[in-house]
Amino acid sequence: MSGCEEPPARAVSMKFQATNTADHILIVEGETDLPGGSPLKAELRNREDQVLSRDSAVVRKGKFYFDFDLTTLSGLSLYQVRVKFDPQDAPLGVRRTTGLWGQALEGKGVRDKVDGRNGRYFEQRIDVLLTNDATGQDWEGRDFGAMDVSERSRITGILEKQVEEKPGLRSAKFALARAYIASDGRELAAGSRSHVLLQDVIKIKDDDAIGRQVQQILQNIDLKEATVEAAKVEREKLTSGAKYLNERSITPGQSIGAFNLGMSYRILQHRLKFDSPPIFSEAQEFVVAKPKEPTGVELTFRSTDRRLQSVRTTSEAFRLPEGFGVGSMLHEIQQAYGTVAVPTPTFRQVRVQADGRVVYKGTIRTSGLEFEIRRVVDPVFPLPVDLVDAIVVFEEKL
């Protein structure tokens, strides 16, 4: 890598297996820690080291596969499969981690080139015994998620034919279900083709290796269905207006309950019923609306954009994080927040009750929050009692 720092040494490993199928196809499938996108070449050789067939593949998510047509071969014989990675055939992104000439590669299977060119390559070999009476199937032990689309489609067609001809073949049904799931994530759902196949498999037997795998997949489907159903119920609650009845927190400068400042009247009119629908006009800068439920809430909208400008509540149901709300005593709030943040307001007398007690009103405006305080003074015991009459949340302008 001219002008670039050499990559650190990279140990390479690879393992694969070859399956000789009854369809005269040799399936080679394996795993490696070579970088994704690494090109691989495979050869099938006989005892005389003659190359009988070649195939190529690319590493995807640490996996790869090849297939060789064996129809021209016959009889019992020993063959060898060689899988090779040459960095010089790889894209630049791969070569940055292996070295342009493979100089960063290390481990068993790493070889130096002997054809006069500098560099290294990686090769793994296994011996394979091929017979005419192979009983394996093209789909047994396959990882359908690692296959490319054309290979998966080919195997899926074989499996569909197997299941049609032999409906009692559990392994074929299980493999076909896995193939469907690998092709389309929507197959992991109740009522899908794969779900029907898996239920058939487990009806026959559920205490072997296949049965245990099927049980796990069916549990995942049930869990997914439960999650989807819960989300559906939650959406129905939101669209029905339930959240406006259930949410009871007060956040200064942001919200009272589920009434968030800035939200559009258009949204609320489809969720709530109002004592009387607000009439927006240019003559009024703000319009107040009172929903029938929850009670004790007043919503003030701007006429210009019909968005929520402030929320006022006289209900004791709504509470600040510290637990204070309508009905709380002023001195308790001051003990929690301090008199600097919540000072004692200037009171004005509003009325004298029939029992002689004098009622005063005062307002405390703090950060994004306003307390309306009611002071009651008993003529016999003239100690004032200051209570929160209402709370208003408004957007604090910076």
User: Which residue, among 321, 324, 362, has the nearest Cα to 343 in the 3D structure?
Assistant: 362
Distance CA 53, CA 41 (A): 11
pLDDT, tens only, 119-173: 899 999 988 766 554 445 556 666 787 777 887 888 888 888 888 888 888 888 8
Res. 239: pLDDT tops 80:
no
Please give the pLDDT value at position 308. 95
pLDDT, tens only, 71-117: 777 555 678 899 999 999 999 999 999 998 889 999 889 998 876 56
pLDDT, tens only, 266-310: 888 888 889 888 889 888 899 999 999 899 999 999 999 999 999
Distance CA 359, CA 374 (A): 7
C-beta separation of 292 from 223 below 8 A: no
DSSP letter, residue 208: S
Q: Looking at residues 5-19, what average pLDDT do you find?
A: 85
Which one is predicted more confidently, 207 or 5? 207
User: Which residue, among 23, 27, 29, has the nearest Cα to 64 in the 3D structure?
Assistant: 29
Please give the pLDDT value at position 134. 44
Please give the pLDDT value at position 203. 87
Tokens representing 19 are 């399956």
Task: Give φ, ψ of 2 to 5 degrees.
Answer: -60, 125
> Is 323 exposed, middle or buried (CB count within 10 Å of its CB: 0-12, 13-18, 19+)?
exposed
Q: Average per-residue pLDDT in the chain?
A: 86
Collect all residues with Cβ–Cβ distance below 8 Å to 237 and sequence separation of at least 6: 243
The number of CA neighbours under 13 Å toward the Cβ of 167 is: 4
Total residue length of the chain: 398
pLDDT, tens only, 14-51: 998 887 765 667 888 899 999 999 999 999 988 788 89
CA 112 to chain centre: 45
C-beta separation of 160 from 176 below 8 A: yes
Res. 311: pLDDT tops 90:
yes
C-beta separation of 61 from 146 below 8 A: yes
Quickly list DSSP for 273-334: -BSS-----TT-SEEEE-BSSSSSEEEEEETTT-BEEEEEE--TT-B-TTS-BTT-BHHHHH
User: Which residue, among 153, 145, 178, 162, has the nearest Cα to 29 in the 3D structure?
Assistant: 145
Distance CA 305, CA 301 (A): 8
284: left (phi over 0), alpha (psi -120 to 50) or beta: beta
What pTM value is reported for the model?
Answer: 0.44
